[in-house]
Chain A
């Protein structure tokens, strides 16, 4: 957590500098440089999250891109998850479906997905549930007659078993019956005598 805070602090610091530059460029109301991002659950029934970012009226109408910080593959980089247009009050919201749980850092920046690569504001949120299952491609693969596999295997094994029973049965019958038949023949002959 301590390390997370450090990251947060660093991120906000850089965000502030960005905002200062933008303020100069637009020469807009300087008081409103407290850009924020907030995260909330969409509703009681939905595990999706509403990401909303305020950049003030200066950002009205422009694209706002939302980010999430990944925890995989060494980079811990910012992944753009989508973008939305800011309202006249400079607020943009985006409905995000979380794909993992745990404390997650979200961010937003003014600009389209191709023009910005990292957020100007960040905030952390503890995601408790992620509604995503595995992607469709993981679940689904079809082979023709795939479902028949079990039945096929069983019937094939049964066929093999029948063949073995027939073969060994024939052998066993000969082994058991043959000496008896010989015995009968001997008895017959002795009677004849």
Chain B
């Protein structure tokens, strides 16, 4: 335990120092990436920590589940996320429950210090698909597995514009409600993850997702590299045949003070990683904005609000762009 925390704090310092010494944010990132991989290993073997977390989570879940829609026997469903990935936050309660933030707050002494979100500035996006490429490279995806995909929509003038679509990390995720085995769960920072070790491959979640954000591992002929950490919901490499996958929001990166792969890979700075708790959003160009004012000032919208999914991804639209225009999203 102590050893782990020491190592973690040292890596934190390392990242600060390196950032300072480099002075350039891009260099700083590359430095901290290596430090993250180092920090990843000790946490993986920490079983005691894992079971304690699990216990705490169950307690938290017990209090929270009462408020949950159709709660049933959901407590059984819990499976600790992030076995194998480092966590910079101390608080690890209440993972994997459909429960709302209210339940989280009420049931735990230490609330989550982050609530991850994303802002995509459509007026900045040039449709280069660098985000898709960066994501696929980092997560060893096949070309048709798109955690973030760039669609082409039509604006009011009839001109097309690119529209990147990651997983929306809905606060009311339909995929989570329909999963018969709780393989999809929502961790305490609001990120919806898939446990490929549990998924039975029924694809009900793909049917329920209004954003086409999920894909399936259809074929067995995919080659994966061997990583030092075992596959986890946050980093499902290698992926399991016959299970569902989707964007993980690079929650490991975010917890290590890094941008997600797509945001870091965007040359236009169109993708902001945000934190609803601290009200901060940052893009790859280093511009830091106050998330709430940024959304408000730019009339940010969510995609398909009528679905009542409450996405954690907001879009800023340019002139004439209308994300929720039916003509664009539905055609004959």
Q: Do A and B come from one complex?
A: yes
A residues at B contact (CB < 8 Å): 3, 6-7, 70-82, 99-100, 117, 132-135, 137-143, 146-147, 149-150, 152-153
4 closest A-B pairs by beta carbon, nearest first, are A77-B288, A138-B101, A149-B70, A73-B282
Cα A77 to Cα B257 in complex, Å, equals 12
Asked if residues A138 and B190 are in contact (CB atoms below 8 Å), the reply is yes
Cα A141 to Cα B69 in complex, Å, equals 11
Cα A137 to Cα B300 in complex, Å, equals 14
Asked if residues A153 and B72 are in contact (CB atoms below 8 Å), the reply is yes
Q: Taking the nearest CB of chain A, how far is it from the CB of B45, in angstroms?
A: 27
Asked if residues B17 and A150 are in contact (CB atoms below 8 Å), the reply is no
Please name all residues of chain B whose beta carbon is closer than 8 Å to the beta carbon of A76 when the two chains form the complex: 16, 19
Contact A75:B101 (CB < 8 A) given known A3-B20, A149-B70? no
Cβ of B102 under 8 Å from chain A: yes
Q: Taking the nearest CB of chain A, how far is it from the CB of B114, in angstroms?
A: 8
Closest to A152 in B: B70
Q: B28, B264, B277: which contacts A99 (Cβ < 8 A)?
A: B277
Please name all residues of chain B whose beta carbon is closer than 8 Å to the beta carbon of A137 when the two chains form the complex: 171, 276, 310
Asked if residues B276 and A134 are in contact (CB atoms below 8 Å), the reply is yes
Residues 206-262 of B contacting A (Cβ, < 8 Å): 254, 257-259
Cα A80 to Cα B290 in complex, Å, equals 7
Contact A135:B20 (CB < 8 A) given known A71-B257, A99-B279? no
Residues 121-179 of B contacting A (Cβ, < 8 Å): 171-172
Please name all residues of chain B whose beta carbon is closer than 8 Å to the beta carbon of A142 when the two chains form the complex: 308
Asked if residues A100 and B19 are in contact (CB atoms below 8 Å), the reply is no
27 pairs from A and B in contact (CB 8 Å cutoff): A70-B278, A72-B273, A72-B275, A73-B257, A74-B25, A74-B28, A74-B259, A79-B280, A81-B290, A99-B277, A99-B279, A117-B287, A133-B101, A133-B105, A134-B276, A135-B279, A135-B292, A137-B171, A137-B276, A137-B310, A142-B308, A143-B69, A143-B172, A143-B308, A150-B70, A150-B71, A153-B71
Cα A169 to Cα B278 in complex, Å, equals 60
Please name all residues of chain B whose beta carbon is closer than 8 Å to the beta carbon of A147 when the two chains form the complex: 69
Asked if residues B69 and A74 are in contact (CB atoms below 8 Å), the reply is no
Cα A152 to Cα B71 in complex, Å, equals 11
Total inter-chain residue pairs, C-beta < 8 Å: 118
Cβ of B107 under 8 Å from chain A: no
Looking at B25, B276, B280, which has the most chain A CB atoms within 10 Å of its CB?
B280
Residues 287-311 of B contacting A (Cβ, < 8 Å): 287-290, 292, 308, 310
Closest to B310 in A: A141
Cα A145 to Cα B19 in complex, Å, equals 51
Asked if residues B289 and A139 are in contact (CB atoms below 8 Å), the reply is no
Q: Taking the nearest CB of chain A, how far is it from the CB of B213, in angstroms?
A: 18
Q: A71, A73, A141: which contacts B258 (Cβ < 8 A)?
A: A73
Contact A6:B20 (CB < 8 A) given known A74-B282, A79-B280? yes
Extra contacts besides A100-B278, A141-B171, A141-B308 (17): CB < 8 Å: A3-B13, A7-B20, A70-B278, A72-B275, A73-B254, A73-B282, A74-B259, A75-B25, A78-B288, A79-B288, A80-B289, A82-B290, A133-B111, A134-B105, A134-B115, A139-B105, A140-B100
B residues at A contact (CB < 8 Å): 13, 16-17, 19-20, 25, 28-29, 32, 68-72, 100-102, 104-105, 111, 113-115, 171-172, 190, 254, 257-259, 264, 273, 275-280, 282, 286-290, 292, 308, 310
Asked if residues B278 and A72 are in contact (CB atoms below 8 Å), the reply is yes
Asked if residues B276 and A79 are in contact (CB atoms below 8 Å), the reply is no
Cα A6 to Cα B21 in complex, Å, equals 11
Cα A113 to Cα B171 in complex, Å, equals 31
Please name all residues of chain A whose beta carbon is closer than 8 Å to the beta carbon of B28 when the two chains form the complex: 74
Asked if residues B171 and A138 are in contact (CB atoms below 8 Å), the reply is yes
Cα A133 to Cα B240 in complex, Å, equals 38
Asked if residues B16 and A3 are in contact (CB atoms below 8 Å), the reply is yes
Cα A134 to Cα B290 in complex, Å, equals 15
Looking at A6, A7, A117, A150, which has the most chain B CB atoms within 10 Å of its CB?
A150
Q: Taking the nearest CB of chain B, how far is it from the CB of A69, in angstroms?
A: 9
Q: Taking the nearest CB of chain A, how far is it from the CB of B272, in angstroms?
A: 9
Asked if residues B100 and A75 are in contact (CB atoms below 8 Å), the reply is no
Please name all residues of chain A whose beta carbon is closer than 8 Å to the beta carbon of B20 when the two chains form the complex: 3, 6-7
Please name all residues of chain B whose beta carbon is closer than 8 Å to the beta carbon of A134 when the two chains form the complex: 101, 104-105, 111, 115, 276-277
Cα A74 to Cα B22 in complex, Å, equals 12
Cα A117 to Cα B289 in complex, Å, equals 10
Q: Taking the nearest CB of chain A, how far is it from the CB of B239, in angstroms?
A: 27
Asked if residues A135 and B280 are in contact (CB atoms below 8 Å), the reply is no
Q: Taking the nearest CB of chain A, how far is it from the CB of B156, in angstroms?
A: 27
Q: Taking the nearest CB of chain A, how far is it from the CB of B265, in angstroms?
A: 13
Asked if residues B308 and A100 are in contact (CB atoms below 8 Å), the reply is no
Cα A99 to Cα B257 in complex, Å, equals 16
